A and B are shown apart, each in its own frame.
Chain A
Amino acid sequence: MTLETILATLGKVVVIVAVPPFLLGVIARTKAWFAGRVGPPLLQPYYDLFKLLAKGTVVSRTTTWVFVAGPAVALVAAFFAAAVVPIGGGRALWAFEGDFIVLAYVLGLARYFTMAAALDTGSSFEGMGAAREATFACIAEPAFIMGLLAIARATGSLSLSGFLGPSIVHVWSVASASLVLVAAGLLLVLLAENSRIPVDDPNTHLELTMVHEVMVLDHGGPLFGVVLYGASVKLYVFAALLVRIAIPIAEPAWLAWLAFLGGLVVVAIAIGVIESAMARLRLPYVPALLLSACLFCALALVLLAR
């Protein structure tokens, strides 16, 4: 292992650890701009995280160790996912055959413990959030898997680093329509998995209407800081996937990195625009939205497997 590869790996680790909260800042700033406000500084999420980590916390008497395990497992899972998603113009930190399936399941593990921590409080609001999260995941997950399978089938590789590498450029030249479908499907999955409008409203003050935020209602102080950080890493994972599908630049390295980081910011701005331009859907309509993501990805799969 040369010094250069060690430095490159370290660089990737730094990006994974440091960049995610910035995306939240970009989203907040975009929404503020749309609303005609100045908005918080771009680095506000970092300040929030440091403040939260230094605070004390209040926990409910009904809770057990599961309540603390929820944020912890979610953070570990998000970092694992970030490690197998290709970064910059090159490969992921960790690539192996079928890693996208493990990614989906590790995020499932995070979901399990987040929901269990919500149910641990015995609050009906949090139970409600958990039930919604579980239900929506049942439709979002097949879309996610089918979308990535479609690309896997077209590129003949079963590893994220393989099929989001140089071979996807060729797929863009022969089957761009299918890739657009996959990207659209994955964008909807991103919105659902990261609790964004139109699936969920992270900024509402009405607990009854929320999904993810209501699940972590009882987590305060450092626990909530860990939740927030984990959620931002998860947002980074989905944004990075989308960027690597949409902007597959591999060479030269500086342009690839520029495209990757720029792409992340563009995705964050796009989320901000979507959140500013539309309202949250009524809950009964969310499954329909996610089903359309499923259909996009299934159609792409059929087109690419033909």
Chain B
Amino acid sequence: MTGCFIALGVLVVSACAALAFGRGGRAASAIAACGAVAAAALALPDAIAVLAGDVPAEVTILWASPIDELRFGLDPMSAFFVVPLVVLGAICAIYGAFYLDDQRARRHLGFPAFFYNLAIAAMLVVLLARDAIGFVIAWEIMTLASYFLVTFDHAQSEVRRAGWVYLIASHLGVAAVLSMFLLLGSHGFAFTDLAASGRADGGAVTVAGILGLVGFGVKAGLVPLHVWLPEAHAAAPSHVSALMSGVLIKLGLYGILRTTTFVGDAVPWGPVLLSVGTIGALVGIALALYQRDIKKALAYSSVENIGIAAIGLGVGFWATSAGEPTLATLGFCGGLFHIWNHTIMKGLMFLGAGSVLHGSGTRDLEQMGGLLKRMPRTGALVILGTVAIAGLPPLNGFASEWLIYLGLARGGSAADSSVGLPLLFAVAAVATVGVMAVLCFVRLAGIALLGSPRGDGAAHAHESGRGMVLPMTVLAAFAIAMPFVAPLLVDALTPLLVELGVEAPSSVAAHDALVDLAYVGIALWSGIIVVYLVVRRLARRRRESETWGCGYVAPNPRMQYSGASFAEGMHRLLPGVLRAKINVPYRTELFPPPVDLRANVEDPFTRAAYEPVLDRLARRFGQLRWVQRGLLHIYILYVVLAVVVTVAIVSLRDFWGGP
């Protein structure tokens, strides 16, 4: 706990120092990165100690009147999220210092450095807070700090729009979270008080639970609350996208897990999270596979992965209430472990996308190609990242999906058909998500990195410096190592499972399954390395030539399959609502002129649901414009009226002997 507090201090001080000394030099980024690394070094031992079985710490700080006291604590649930936060925070800070370096002459780098460290500090407080007031304040600071990070390139209009959407979505989410705390807070706002009032029966508790799910679901990117996510992730600088996708949206899941400890069984968490997760995973990957902007594709894949994690947690909650501790352990371990794994691989992918953007100057898939030749290290790391995030063995993405699969399949083949059948169909759904992810990511890697360049930027791309490649290499090493250390990790999750309500967690099954998978990993790695070397040796008598064009001898890069054509077949098979709106004018003349094809890939939920509703609301509210006079004395009148009415209501209620 002490380490975490010192880390907080270091983060805030380094943030302010970066702001103060950051004008026009490298100092700001350096100070902030050092602060983030020091904070990681300070907070990590604490978190690991708690995960390894230390007694959870609690601290109460007395404060001025309306707040009275702030409670902080570090229990296994918080510690589990602190680890990826500080580790990825430090890695992205180092990367970010080099990533933004070329902006040094034009921009004051103190601001992004300040908001970056402030965001990490706020997220740390969110995880440490043990009462609603501190939690909400930190949550709000986190949102605002990340808003300023997202809008770093605010000269572009789409970045401003992305920031605006993020701000609105986040605040609708906060409104739901606040309402949940108010509903539960009749006996006080400490988490223990909330849990106590959550145990009381009544519809209010269920409503509170749903409000929590919705409010935190906005942050987590649960479908259909995910619409802010792709825009904000595409707009933000890449190391910020990595931090947001890797950690910030996970705090939404943390919030949901906290909510479950308040309201208990008032909401059937198992079926709810299972269905929300399945829908999220399917919709997320369906939208990811035809995006042209690589960062948008990655953001939608985050929606998918949050869905998969939610499926795992759903299995855990379902099995807990069904009294199946082994299954609950499989589900929870799978879901939680997937959170860590996604932090690693999505961190790697966004940093890789940043490096590609840095080297080739574009985020547009159709302008890329042949980057593996020009950026060999970034390219290889990104290919590794895509294999991991497509959930393929022997990398880490599959390791956690594996536990979720086993939880679903075991539950499905044992339970009676009313429960078993949905679980088995969930297995099929996760498998479908898996192959669609392969399509999505082979498209990303194949079109961007392989083949020949489609644009000038890609043709003249350059490899990024060590400062950017090294952080990616560290994440790639994690992605390779994770499946092999996973058996040790699941045992450490036992206290967290107890906190989530599993009565006698038994990690034996999860442990054994991961040991099996580690052997598979060893077999695959050694097999692939040996066979690759043998095949390369067999093909040593080689001659170089052009790509075979079926007799055509002058191929050019424009003849390559493009990202759009690669996804076209699957795009056609998607349900209509999830498809892009493609508009090709139909010409009937004998000699038709050139036509424009326009594809609107705006999020279908924004296009079909949010925008029409919000537009109508905006028109309605527009009719209330007359209230807004722009005259100070009218506003003072409003304030006075409001006070008078409030006082009148309260005193009338007292007069009639209300409670």
A127 within 8 A of B: yes
Are B524 and A98 in contact, with the CB atoms below 8 A? no
B438 within 8 A of A: yes
A175 within 8 A of B: no
User: Which residues from chain A contact B548 at a C-beta distance below 8 Å?
Assistant: 60, 121, 123, 217-218
B257 within 8 A of A: no
State how many angstroms separate the Cβ of A86 from the closest Cβ of chain B.
Answer: 17
Are B369 and A305 in contact, with the CB atoms below 8 A? no
A125 to B528, CA, bound (A): 27
Secondary structure dominating the interface of A? helix
State how many angstroms separate the Cβ of A157 from the closest Cβ of chain B.
Answer: 8
Are B570 and A134 in contact, with the CB atoms below 8 A? yes
State how many angstroms separate the Cβ of B243 from the closest Cβ of chain A.
Answer: 28
State how many angstroms separate the Cβ of B246 from the closest Cβ of chain A.
Answer: 23
Secondary structure dominating the interface of B? helix
B2 within 8 A of A: no
Interface string of B428-471 (1 = CB under 8 A from A): 11011011101101110111001110000000000000000000
User: Which residues from chain B contact A73 at a C-beta distance below 8 Å?
Assistant: 528, 531-532
State how many angstroms separate the Cβ of B324 from the closest Cβ of chain A.
Answer: 15
A68-B539, A123-B549 as given contacts; A112 in contact with B516, CB under 8 Å:
no
A166 within 8 A of B: no
A145 to B436, CA, bound (A): 14
State how many angstroms separate the Cβ of B318 from the closest Cβ of chain A.
Answer: 17
A138-B435, A301-B421 as given contacts; A109 in contact with B550, CB under 8 Å:
no
Are B370 and A141 in contact, with the CB atoms below 8 A? no
Interface string of A151-192 (1 = CB under 8 A from B): 011001010000000000000000000000000000000000
A149 within 8 A of B: yes
Q: Which of A197-212 contact B (CB under 8 A)?
A: 207
Output the nearest chain B residue to A302 by Cβ-Cβ distance: B421
Are B428 and A119 in contact, with the CB atoms below 8 A? no
User: Which residues from chain B contact A59 at a C-beta distance below 8 Å?
Assistant: 539, 542-545
User: Which residues from chain A contact B544 at a C-beta distance below 8 Å?
Assistant: 58-61
A130 to B444, CA, bound (A): 13
A233 within 8 A of B: no
Are B450 and A122 in contact, with the CB atoms below 8 A? yes
A228 to B609, CA, bound (A): 50
Cross-interface CB contact of B539 among A57, A132, A137, A139, cutoff 8 Å = A57
A108 to B438, CA, bound (A): 7
Residues of B within 8 A of A (CB-CB), count: 82
State how many angstroms separate the Cβ of B567 from the closest Cβ of chain A.
Answer: 8
Output the nearest chain B residue to A84 by Cβ-Cβ distance: B520
Are B528 and A72 in contact, with the CB atoms below 8 A? yes
Q: Which of B424, B517, B549, B565 has the most CB of A within 10 A?
A: B424
Are B550 and A145 in contact, with the CB atoms below 8 A? no
A287 within 8 A of B: yes
Q: Which of A207-258 contact B (CB under 8 A)?
A: 207, 217-218, 221-223, 225-226
A156 to B410, CA, bound (A): 9
Are A119 and B559 in contact, with the CB atoms below 8 A? no
Are B535 and A71 in contact, with the CB atoms below 8 A? yes
Are B431 and A141 in contact, with the CB atoms below 8 A? yes
Q: Which of B40-59 contact A (CB under 8 A)?
A: none
User: Which residues from chain B contact A158 at a C-beta distance below 8 Å?
Assistant: 406, 409-410, 413
A142 within 8 A of B: yes
Q: Which of B379, B441, B442, B566 has the most CB of A within 10 A?
A: B442
Are B442 and A112 in contact, with the CB atoms below 8 A? yes
User: Which residues from chain A contact B379 at a C-beta distance below 8 Å?
Assistant: 64
Q: Which of A96, A109, A287 has the most CB of B within 10 A?
A: A109
State how many angstroms separate the Cβ of B537 from the closest Cβ of chain A.
Answer: 9
A102 within 8 A of B: yes
User: Which residues from chain A contact B393 at a C-beta distance below 8 Å?
Assistant: 102, 105-106, 109
Are A156 and B413 in contact, with the CB atoms below 8 A? yes
A146 within 8 A of B: yes
B405 within 8 A of A: yes
State how many angstroms separate the Cβ of B372 from the closest Cβ of chain A.
Answer: 5
Output the nearest chain B residue to A139 by Cβ-Cβ distance: B573
A124 within 8 A of B: yes
Q: Which of A58-84 contact B (CB under 8 A)?
A: 58-62, 64, 66, 68-69, 71-73, 75-77, 79-80
A72 to B528, CA, bound (A): 7
Output the nearest chain B residue to A219 by Cβ-Cβ distance: B539
Are A123 and B438 in contact, with the CB atoms below 8 A? no
A116-B446, A134-B439, A301-B421 as given contacts; A60 in contact with B547, CB under 8 Å:
yes
Are A221 and B409 in contact, with the CB atoms below 8 A? no
Cross-interface CB contact of A53 among B405, B421, B517, B538, cutoff 8 Å = B538
A104 to B520, CA, bound (A): 13
A56-B542, A76-B524, A153-B413 as given contacts; A124 in contact with B445, CB under 8 Å:
no
Are A221 and B412 in contact, with the CB atoms below 8 A? no
Are A62 and B547 in contact, with the CB atoms below 8 A? yes
Output the nearest chain B residue to A226 by Cβ-Cβ distance: B535
Output the nearest chain A residue to B566 by Cβ-Cβ distance: A131
Are A109 and B387 in contact, with the CB atoms below 8 A? yes
State how many angstroms separate the Cβ of B636 from the closest Cβ of chain A.
Answer: 63
User: Which residues from chain B contact A302 at a C-beta distance below 8 Å?
Assistant: 421
B323 within 8 A of A: no
Are A138 and B573 in contact, with the CB atoms below 8 A? yes
Output the nearest chain A residue to B526 by Cβ-Cβ distance: A76
User: Which residues from chain B contact A66 at a C-beta distance below 8 Å?
Assistant: 372, 383, 450
Cross-interface CB contact of A68 among B512, B532, B569, cutoff 8 Å = B532
Are A138 and B450 in contact, with the CB atoms below 8 A? no
Q: Which of B464-521 contact A (CB under 8 A)?
A: 512-513, 516-517, 520
For the A-B complex with A56-B543, A139-B573, A305-B424 known, give 15 more contacts whose Cβ atoms are closer than 8 Å. A57-B542, A60-B545, A68-B536, A72-B528, A73-B531, A98-B513, A109-B392, A119-B442, A119-B446, A123-B547, A123-B555, A127-B561, A135-B569, A135-B573, A158-B410
List 21 A-B residue pairs with CB atoms under 8 Å apart, sorted by A's residue number: A57-B542, A57-B543, A58-B544, A60-B546, A62-B373, A62-B450, A64-B379, A68-B535, A69-B532, A75-B531, A76-B527, A102-B520, A120-B446, A120-B451, A122-B369, A122-B450, A131-B569, A134-B570, A145-B427, A298-B428, A305-B417
Residues of B within 8 A of A (CB): 369-370, 372-373, 379, 383, 387, 390-393, 398, 402, 405-406, 409-410, 412-414, 417, 420-421, 424-425, 427-429, 431-432, 434-436, 438-439, 441-443, 445-447, 450-452, 512-513, 516-517, 520, 523-524, 527-528, 531-532, 534-536, 538-539, 541-550, 555, 557, 559-561, 565-570, 573
